[in-house]
Amino acid sequence: LRDRLKNPSLLREACFIDGQWSGNPETVVTNPANDVELGRVPNMAAAEATEAVEAAQRAFPAWAKMTAKQRSNVMRKWFELIVANREDLALILTSEQGKPLSEALGEVDIGAAYVEFYAEEARRVYGETIPTQRADARLIAIKQPIGVCGAITPWNFPNSMITRKVSPALAAGCTVVLKPANETPFSALALAALAEQAGVPNGVFNIITGDAPAIGKVLCEHPAVRFVGFTGSTEVGKILYRQAAVGVKKLGLELGGNAPFIVFDDADVDAAVEGAMVSKYRNMGQTCVCANRLYVQDGVYDAFVEKLAAKVAAMKIGDGTEQGVTQGPLINLAAVEKTERHIADAVKNGATIVTGGKRHTLGGTFFEPTVLANVKPDALVAHEETFGPLAPVFRFSTEEEVIKLANNSPFGLASYFYARDLGRVWRVAEALEAGMVGVNSGLITTEVAPFGGVKESGLGREGSHHGMEEYVEIKYVMMAGI
Ligand code: ADP
């Protein structure tokens, strides 16, 4: 991999603590497309995590005291370096994660967009003045950085999940200790190398790789840490939530979803098929906002299934760095097995495989993108997130019925529907129990809008000016004796 990078110094086999690159490269990181070793990263644990937190704690006062404009300038530099190195960052990303290079470039771009957005937003952390209730007093509320922040990120977006947390933190004046996913540490370390080059002061942004539970425990329990931002599974999110209770820490959680994707009779079916393609098969179905359950109304059911299956069957599968590939390998065998389990369960209960349905002849973790028709409402895939390239298409008759089906889940992250009737659009958008609704769009993530879930899908929002709120505390000041 190093030989293919224009800037080989982006591939770092060390952790970044207090401005120093440290640790022995021990843990092997492989390419999911061919199982070839890409490099090694340190296997750190509680002691090093504590060291990193303490470095962040020492760095905090000076970083917090800088003017917003000064912090903004450093972040702007970081943004420019990410953009200048976007091709290398995308190649590192595809090599360790598997997504097609075009998608990796897209992720690096939105990753950079978070840095840019929060570099701008740094200067708009406004407080308020409050009409007083006492003649001799004046009341104000100011916003201050919350303090040292922990961040724990997943493998499915190895770049943008980092910048989406670290950028608002740095903009607000916080310092950060980040633990990236063990599958994809190199994207994170490359971002740190660029942050260092941009002039982010020592200890302001630290990255540590290794034992996730041990590092996670320190981030949740060390008294200096005031906020932990996590994106990952609901299971791990609940562990962190419990751990954070000990020190009453604020938590941001972006957890699992089970997104419904609804197509009504009045929809533009071709547009709905396009939307389903991006929503379902982006990143091989491995995003928390991927359509997991497709509900299609009677009148357009057959046409939708036929058109979707034709597009899915035409996708090109292979190593994400190859020209024209639209589906790479899944992250690991467990992901393949879960997809197989969902298919087998649906088929056992009467669903039909319209296209795909099995492991790809390329071997490894390559899987054929799949469409299932006539799936029953109680199928396993209606209740569990597949996180793989499987589109189960359910049939429904009425608006009331489908809203009930869609909301019958403990999760509530993204949801999507296609319809043209204005009344229906409002009714359904308001009725869906989800943090995000895409109406006639299968792709909704942008740095300018609040991303997050309801119910067991999480707490808090990332992106937009709302994303900054996680990283500040409100301090109320009464000035009396006037
Ligand atoms: P996924 O199933 O997508 O891998 P995880 O929730 O297991 O999702 O992983 C998301 C992130 O959480 C990764 O960085 C992983 O290393 C980390 N992680 C896993 N287990 C724990 C834990 N017990 N405490 C803290 N972090 C953890």
Distance CA 269, CA 290 (A): 19
Edge-first strand listing for the sheet containing 205-207: 20-22, 15-17, 205-207, 175-179, 148-152, 225-231, 250-254, 458-459
Residue 86 near residue 109, CB atoms below 8 Å: yes
pLDDT digits (tens, 9 = 90+) for 371-398: 999 999 999 999 999 999 999 999 999 9
- In this structure, which residue's CA is closest to atom 2 in ligand 1? 233
Q: State the number of CA atoms in the 13 A half-sphere of 187 facing the CB.
A: 35
Write out the H or E segment, with its range, that includes residue 429.
Answer: helix 422-431
Distance between CA 173 and CA 187 in Å, rounded? 24
The ipTM is 0.98
Atom of ligand 1 nearest to the CA of 236: 6
- Enter the tokens of residue 271: 């547009």
Q: Of all protein residues, whose CA lies closest to atom 24 belonging to ligand 1?
A: 213
Distance CA 28, CA 13 (A): 10
SS (H, E, C) 270-312: HHHHHHHHHHHHHHHHCCCCCEEEEEEEHHHHHHHHHHHHHHH
Cβ distance 68 to 180 under 8 Å?
no
Which segments in the chain show pLDDT lower than 70? none
* Residues 337/325, Cβ–Cβ less than 8 Å: no
> Which numbered atom of ligand 1 lies nearest the CA of 152?
14
How many other CB atoms are found less than 10 A from the CB of residue 1?
A: 19
13 C-alpha vs ligand 1 centroid, how far in Å?
Answer: 21
pLDDT for the residue numbered 258: 98
CA-CA distance, 205 to 71, in Å (whole number)? 13
Q: Residue 338 has what pLDDT? A: 98
CA atoms within 13 A on the CB side of 63: 29
The residues, any chain, with a CB within 8 Å of residue 159's CB and separated by 6 or more, are: 89, 93, 107, 108, 111, 187, 188, 191
Show the tokens assigned to 234.
């609901």
Q: Is residue 383 within 8 Å of residue 396, measured between CB atoms?
A: no
Residue 168 makes CB contacts below 8 A (sequence gap 6+) with 114, 118, 121, 462, 467, 468, 470, 471
Q: What pLDDT score does 224 carry?
A: 98
* β-pair type (138-145, 128-130): antiparallel
CA angle 255, 10, 159 (to 5 degrees): 15
- Contact assessment for residue 11 and residue 92, using Cβ atoms and an 8 Å cutoff: yes
For the chain, count helices (H), then strands (E).
15, 22
Residue 384 burial by Cβ neighbours in a 10 Å radius (0-12, 13-18, 19+): middle
Residue 7 has which token pair? 């800037």
**Ligand 1, CB within 6 Å, residue ranges:** 152-155, 179, 181-182, 212-213, 216, 232-233, 236, 239-240
| Amino acid making up residue 48 | E
Res 375: pLDDT: 98
| CA atoms of 380 and 371, how far apart (whole Å) | 15
In this structure, are residues 204 and 56 in contact, taking their beta carbons and an 8 Å threshold?
yes
174 is catalytic: no
Q: Is 15 a catalytic residue?
A: no
Q: What are phi and psi of 308, to 5 degrees?
A: -65, -45
Sign of the alpha-carbon dihedral angle for 411, 416, 419, 421: positive
Residue to probe by mutation, ligand 1, list 43, 44, 152, most atoms within 8 Å of CB: 152
pTM of the model: 0.98
Tokens of 64: 């917090």
* Each residue's pLDDT tens digit, 277-286: 999 999 999 9
